[in-house]
Structure 1
Amino acid sequence: MLMNKMREHTKIILWIVVIAFIATIIFSWGMNYTGRGNKAQKGIIGTINGKDIPRDYFLNLLQDQYVRYREQYGQEPDRRVMKLLRDQIWENIVNSTLISEEIKRMGIKVSDEEVVFQLKNNPPDIIRNNPAFMTDNKFDIQKYYQAMRIQNPQVNMFWAQLESLVRSSLPTTKIQNLVVSTVRVTEDEIYSRFLEEEQTARVKYIYCGPERFIDNKIEISEKEMQDYYNSHIDEYKLPPQRKLRYVVFKTTPTKEDSIKIDETIKDVLKRAKAGEDFAELAKEYSMGPTAENGGDLGYFTKGTMIKEFEDAVFKAKVGEVFGPVKTPLGIHIIKVVDRKPPDSKKKGRKTRRKRRYAKTDSVRASHILFKYVASDNTIDNAKYDASNFAEIAKEEGFEKIAKEQSMEIKETPYFEKSGFIPGIGMMEDAISFAFRGKLNDISSAIKSPDGFYVFQIIDIQPERIKSFDEVKTSIEDILKIKKRKEMAGKLLSKVYDKITSGKSLSRVAKEDSLEVKKTDEFKLNDYINNIGRDIKFSSTAFKLKPGEISKPVEGLKGYYLIQLIEKSSVDTSLFKTRKEEIADKLLTEKQQLLFTQWISYLRSKADIKDYRSQIFGD
């Protein structure tokens, strides 16, 4: 059993070893220090301190991340996600390269004894979170040691991979420890964080905002508007924009596609009920992100899954295979693997949702997810039709062929290179075509989740700055709101002067037709009804003494006079209980911040050239 679980996680170990060796691999690609000319055309994605990063290496990492995303979420990543993936990979390459250079410069080495010590006493999280080494959902060091004593070729390969992971990651761990070794957390910092997270306050307040003066006539001079325009000129810069028209060849599942999926569901359900290995069926047929894990969803309680799925699972018996169950995600075949009573000893804070279901059983289930999707044949037909349309349209005209084929022509609004296409969404290939092509160019067939698109460029707007006349009205509105807010501040200053002369908050509010409101209890970083999350309001409130009234406070919406009603007393016993936890959290935060700042310092001193825009058009 132990061997089987270890074997299941060999793939994960291999992946982590690959990631851990990123910096090493970079240097093994034979980076060019002397290349001249257009680097992107020579297959170079960028350079870091003179070291060329091969485009193919970058694209291989991108492909790995693309596949992992698609498997995890069960859908194609859109343009925004693809850009995030590219950015993350590039940042990791830069950071790991610079860290490797520092490790080499500082002469940091790892001995066999250190690797052995780390393996024995501080195994990585991939081991600690591996079910093969757990007892009652907790890491069991004795199971880990027991596994270490097993001798056979497969297990030896597993430990060799783990040793490589630890050996490759230890230098980075050592340099990180050196960088953050000076970080300390003070008692004041721990106590302040405790108060932020635990102390509550209630206040009365008077609010006065620009809307009070909406009927007041505000005059804004031409000079004021022109001055504002000149001082905010960067806000009115418009990047290059494009406008397209397009036709769509949909890849909606046909009736035949749906019938075939229904037949597959019936067949798989029959095989699963007949005793065929459920996990293997899930790996072969499931369209969900848990397919690779045999459809295993782990343990869950009521209130954590989609209602239709949850209702069906909690009515079933352990070992029962049933379905199909329809949910917004698709069609499920489900197997209930285990059921266990609630853990009454489990401690920790519970949300209202968790408290509601705290006394219910937890169930472990696996599922096989099916979705009604277009068949390969349907997709191929749509692609052929779109490609055929594009080729003919390039010869005979977009509008003419669309009319002959009774295709609806749609138009996009103007859009920018860095954003999505309104009405369509993120479509990287279309945006790339739009900003590389010439006026009236027609694209080839471009795939999207809902079909194949053919575009034509119908307008090109170069980069420009909006003229003063274009934005004059909006500037006038901005300046009017600003002046009205200033009027609100002046009014509350007069109200505050009355309070200092001995009048009460409620009396002065009545005199000036203002309203005194009360808040519910809130913490420093809470969202407050009618106010929002306004740190100036909250921080002022917590600085007051009970009964004390603040000077006018400029918040996000307007101005406030705040009177503290009460502030909760400090629970010293709770502070003692949470002190170590808060200290650890603060220390981690400060260490992460310092390490990030150190990386930023290395980057600021490095010679980094990024050619990705020449390849991807970002």
Structure 2
Amino acid sequence: GYEKHKKNEVLTKYEMYELEYIPEGEKINQISKSEEIIRQAIELNIQEYCKEPFELPDRFVIFQTMDIIPAQPQNLIEAGKDVWKAYLMDSESEAKSYFIHHISKELSDSLTYQCTKIVLDYVYFNINDMEIDVDLSEEDLIDYYNNNPDKFTINQNFQKIDFTTKAQKHKERVVPFEQVRNDIIQCLTFAQKQKFAEDICQEIANEMKFSTPEFLGENFNVKKNEEIINFQTDIHQMDSDSCLSVNTLLKQEIFSNDADIGIIKKPPLYIIYKIHSRIENYQAKFSDVKSDIITFIKAENNKKLESEYRNYYEKNKEKFVSKDSIKCAIIFVPQDLNNITISDSTIERFYDEHREEFFQPKQALFQTIFISRYRKFSKMGDSKRIANKVARLAKNGVDFNDLAMLFSNRIVKKENELKYKTIADLSDELKNAIYTMKKSISEPIENSDGFYIIKLIDIRDARILPFSEVKQRIRQQLTEARSDELALEKISKIDSKVNVYNDSLAELYADFFFKIDWICLDKDAFQDSILGKISSLVNYESELSKLKKGQKLSAIIKSDTGYFIVFLLDRKKGRQLTYDEVYARVKKEYNELTQIERNKELSQQIISRIKQGENPDSLLTYFSGWHFTDWLKLNDNIPGFRKEESRIILEDAINRKKGSFSHLLRLKNQGFAFYQVEDVNTISMEKFEIEKEKFRNLYIKQKYQQWYEKYKGMANIEICIES
């Protein structure tokens, strides 16, 4: 009710914010609880002030609603995604329905489900929050270290196997005391805290027999006359994710135990409770048991799923079978290319003695235009006529690359992309033509498929490659040969000394020794294993499966990078895997299959309803939305899709008719999609060939005109007039 000048005086004295349109649920900078302010402002009429100042911790706020824009359809479509997600994630509606239709009736009739209320006092504490004086001497730490050697020993563990260098590994060793001193202190401190907690729990429990203490210290939480309600028969159905919460631990204890006073020990959490009263057949409100009902429903759903998982396992047992597998030890001697030096004189001598290996036959560098005799939409004889025309244009100076683009039925590389080809390896028609050509354009060369026009760029005569061109190649070849020779020599000596495996090999040949854990002898799994990657070892798979423990393969195995001796350490026979062993895999496979089937069924229902005339925008509000695109080319990206997914969709869509629907597509992000072709604009092959022919003729006419003008300017004309 201020007059205008008074109002302006107030507004200049205090902070004032003039805001743009703000959606409900967003925040105003610098103002806490601003979501509540916006909610209240939306309920006011336009130009109306708040009924009373809005109190904040450090100030008061007065606000006026200047304008309101109602939710628009497009906003609702976008918001629908969040609404749908929230609905699916909210179990309350399901729990409420269950309560109304089942629980309340059964409670009143005293049937299956019994709801019990317990009134109790309890004290709880977490020993991680407690600070107690721990008296640990250096002698205590050393005694613990010496009495628990297994805890401080690193077993022989091969960290990395690199079949090009020496093994990088840790031998079995005891970690020095100084490195684990702090760990020992933490371990012993925690043990003493546990002992302290058990002692204090007993003291509190004894005191609670008479009365519950009011205050025990800042680390102790005291609750008096608390009510805990539960309607489940099996309290242990509770969600394991919450197993360390105080409320859950109490429920699991007091509803399955008749004791009035008890101690719950779940380190680091400890609870001492005293029950005052138990009320059986308690008529609970929904809010009292909502969380229990949700937990119960989840447990029932999980039971159903567990049954379906097991059925899937039973029906597909043959998929869950382990193959024979082996454990091996390997002595590997790699080729050492770094420590071998080949002199220039050795390389020259090798070149002189093996000149024939560096013979290079006659080669040609050329381009071709190919005119197929099976060209579509052409009259008989067109191919030869076009080939003659193209050859004539090329000889008259028309760019060969342009002609190739317009007329060739095969891809033609540009001149800077070409490589020399051995003439003897070419087809007889091309070979004979090139042998008789000079650097020029050929006449059309006919074969069974069509006509070639050749542009010969260069010819290299047959020759022995000069030493300068092959020197580095020879050096590399001799280095690899020498390193291979030395590696074979070294492993042959080892092989002659070792017949069966023994534990001393790891020390004797520490730089070359490896242990390989279990490897499946199934063909695919074996090839993916470390052993399978040794190029030629796959040929010995059968022999490996027949070896006895400790035996070695009969042959030294050569790989691309060195030589191996392989010992069999152990073998496991293939067997049927139990349900528990493959539970995670069964669960994943079953969920993926059911998800695909559910989405296929859902997409078909949606497509059917759209075909019947339902509005896709309203039908898909609570899904990912029905998105429209502009005209797309085959190499475009569809908004919201990966490049690869866009390519697959567009290549599929180009072959569909206007208005048609796609099948269900599975995306890499585990989502699904389908689409409808709203419109498609394609050109028939016949029309394409007609347009291409027009362009060719126009191009030829332009080039002919350029040629004509060029040569007309060069002509000399003499006129003799007699009178």
Which bin holds the TM-score, normalised by the shorter protein? 0.3 to 0.5
Bigger relative CO (Cα 8 Å, ≥ 6 apart): 1
TM score, norm. by length of structure 1: 0.40
TM score, norm. by length of structure 2: 0.35
Bigger helix share:
1
Question: Greater Rg, structure 1 or structure 2?
Answer: 2
